[in-house]
Structure 1
Amino acid sequence: MKEKIGEGITAEIYLWNEKEIIKLFHDSIHESLIEKEFIVSQEIQNLGLPAPKVGNKVFDQNRMGIIYEKIDGVTLTEQLAKDPMNVEKEAKRFAELHFQIHSVKSSALSDIREVLISYVDLCNRFTLEQKEQIVSYIEALPTKQAVCHMDFHPDNILISGQGPIIIDWMTAGYGNPFADVARTVIILKHAHLPASIPEPVKQSIMTLRHVFCEEYVKEYLTLSKGTWKDIESWLLPIMAARLIEGIPEGEKDDLYRQVLSFL
C-alpha cells in the first residue's frame, strides 16, 4: 500500500514515486468530473501557470486517479499558522498570484456563467421563480475569457522551493475575474470551521482570516484597477451556486439567507 499523504472532499492523495503523487478519487465522484479535471490540468499546464505537472490517468485500488508532479512544501494556511505576523505580506502575495491567473485567457475551459446557472438549477432550496430571477441576474453580468480557478483559497496554495504552486483546478473555467475573487471572499468570510476546534481558537482564526481577506481584496483591486462593486456584483450567484456543494448545513443556511436578502 502506498503512503497516504492527504485527503479532501473529492479524493485521497498518495505517494506514487519519489517525484509524483496520485490523486485517487472517491467512488462517489463521477468519471466525467475526473475527465474534466484531467483535461483542465493539461490546459493549465499548457498555459504555463504555476501548477503541478500532470501525468496520466490510471486505475489503482479499483479507483480512478490522476498522476501529478509531487510538490514539496506547505500550504499557505500552514504557513500563516506558523507565522501569523506575516499575514499582510502573504495576503498581498496571494492577490498577486490570483491576478497572475486572471492575466491569462483561455476558451478551452468551461464558461463559468454556464456552470453557475447549472448549479442554481440543481439547488432544491430555490423556487422556480427564484431560480429564474437568479439566472436572469447571472446572464446580465459582464463576462470575459480570463482563466478563473474558482476554488482559490490558502489551502490550495503550496509554498515550495519553486515558489507558490496552485493546486486543485477541478473547478477552473473562463469568465470574469471578479467572479473568482467573489468566491474567494465568500470562502474566507463564510466558511465554517470544524466544531471540534475550541471557541477561543476559532475566534483567533476568524480574526486572522478577516485581516487576510481585507488585505487580499485591497491589493487585488489595486492590481486590477477594479472596485468593490465589481466583486460585490458576483456575490449573489456565487453564494447561490455554493449551496449544492459539500459544505456544512449551517454554512448553507447562512449563505441561503444572504442570497434571499439580495433578491
Structure 2
Amino acid sequence: MKEKIGAGNTAEIYLWNDKEIVKLFHDSIHESLIEREFLASQEIQNLGLPVPKVGGKISYQNRTGIIYEKIDGVTLTELLAKDPLHVGKEAKRFAELHFQIHSRKSSAFSDICETLISHVNFCSRFTSEQKEKIATYIATLPTDQAVCHMDFHPDNILISEQGPIVIDWMTAGFGNPFADVARTVIILEHAHLPASIPEPVKQGIMALRHAFCEEYVNEYLTLSKGTWKDIELWFLPIMAARLIEGIPEGEKHDLYKQVISFL
C-alpha cells in the first residue's frame, strides 16, 4: 500500500499500485455496509454504467478495504470551484448522467422505500406516532425498479479523460428515480458549509450551488418528462431519513423543522 490520497466520512483512499486504489474503511463502518458497497459496485459495473472497475476486498490492520480502478481526474466540485462560469454546462451533464443511471433497472439492491422507513424508525427525534405517519406516507408513493445512487452530488463525480465517473455506491438502491433526485436537491440546497469558511465565501458557494441545482433540475425534468411535484413528493421521507446521518447539528435542526412542517 502506497501513500494516502484522500479521505471521507467512511473511508480513507490509498494508492494500491499504479493502476488501482484501495478504499480502506474506518473501524466504525459495519462490515455489512462494506459488503453492500462491494456487491453494489459489481452490479453497477455489470450494468455498464461509468464507474471505476472493482477488484477484490482486502483486510489491512484489522480494517476492510475494497480495491478499485484508479481514475485520474478531479471531482466535479473541484472543477466548478476552478471554473464557475461553466456551472450551466456542468449541471446539464450532471443531469444527463443521473438520468443515465436511472435508465437501468435492477432488484439486486435494497428497496429504497424500505431503507427510508428503517432510517426513520432509527431516528430518536421522532415519536412513534410520527414514525408511523411517515411510513404510511411512504407507502403511498409511486414505486419503480430504477437504479438509484442515493448520494449523487458533485463530490461523488470524478471528471476524467474518459468522461464523468460516478463513485461511492454504498447507499445504492432501487426504486423511484425522483426519490434519488429529491435527495440530490436536498443536499445541494440544504447541506451546511463548514463554520470555518468566511461568510462572504459561503454566500458565493451557496449562490453557485443554487444555480447549479436549478439548471440540474430543469434538465432532468426535460429528460424524464417529469414535474417538480414528482420530486417534491419525496422531500418528507428523504429529509426525515437524513437525520440519522453524520451531518452538522444545525443542518439536522433545519431538516427536522421542515419535516415537522410537512407532517
Same fold (TM over 0.5): yes
1:165: Cα distance to partner? 0.1
1:214: Cα distance to partner? 0.3
Partner of 2:245: 245
| Letter aligned with residue 119 of structure 1 | H
Partner of 2:78: 78
Query: Please, what is the CA RMSD of the aligned residues?
Result: 0.6
- What SS does structure 2 have at the residue aligned with 1:240? helix
Answer yes or no: is 1:6 the counterpart of 2:18: no
Query: Where does the alignment leave 5 or more consecutive residues of structure 2 unmatched?
Result: none
| Letter aligned with residue 57 of structure 1 | K
Give aligned pairs, total: 263
Counterparts of 1:155 and 1:17 in 2: how far apart (Å)?
Answer: 23
Counterparts of 1:138 and 1:260 in 2: how far apart (Å)?
Answer: 15
Answer yes or no: is 1:20 the counterpart of 2:20: yes
Partner of 2:233: 233
- Normalization by structure 2: what TM-score? 0.99
Matches within 5 A, 1:183-262: 183-262=183-262
Partner of 2:136: 136
Matches within 5 A, 1:64-75: 64-75=64-75
Answer yes or no: is 1:95 the counterpart of 2:62: no
| Letter aligned with residue 224 of structure 2 | S
| Letter aligned with residue 141 of structure 1 | L
Answer yes or no: is 1:59 the counterpart of 2:56: no
- What SS does structure 1 have at the residue aligned with 2:48? coil
Partner of 2:119: 119
Counterparts of 2:61 and 2:198 in 1: how far apart (Å)?
Answer: 37
- What SS does structure 2 have at the residue aligned with 1:182? helix
- What SS does structure 1 have at the residue aligned with 2:250? helix
Q: Deviations over 1:9-28 (max 9, x none)?
A: 00000000000000000000
Once structures 1 and 2 are overlaid, which stretch shifts more, 56-65 or 141-150? Answer: 56-65
1:61: Cα distance to partner? 2.6
Partner of 1:50: 50
Q: Deviations over 1:79-105 (max 9, x none)?
A: 000100000000000000000000000
- What SS does structure 1 have at the residue aligned with 2:65? strand
Counterparts of 1:28 and 1:41 in 2: how far apart (Å)?
Answer: 21
Query: Where does the alignment leave 5 or more consecutive residues of structure 1 unmatched?
Result: none
1:197: Cα distance to partner? 0.6
Partner of 1:106: 106
- What SS does structure 1 have at the residue aligned with 2:121? helix
1:49: Cα distance to partner? 0.5
1:60: Cα distance to partner? 1.4
1:149: Cα distance to partner? 0.2
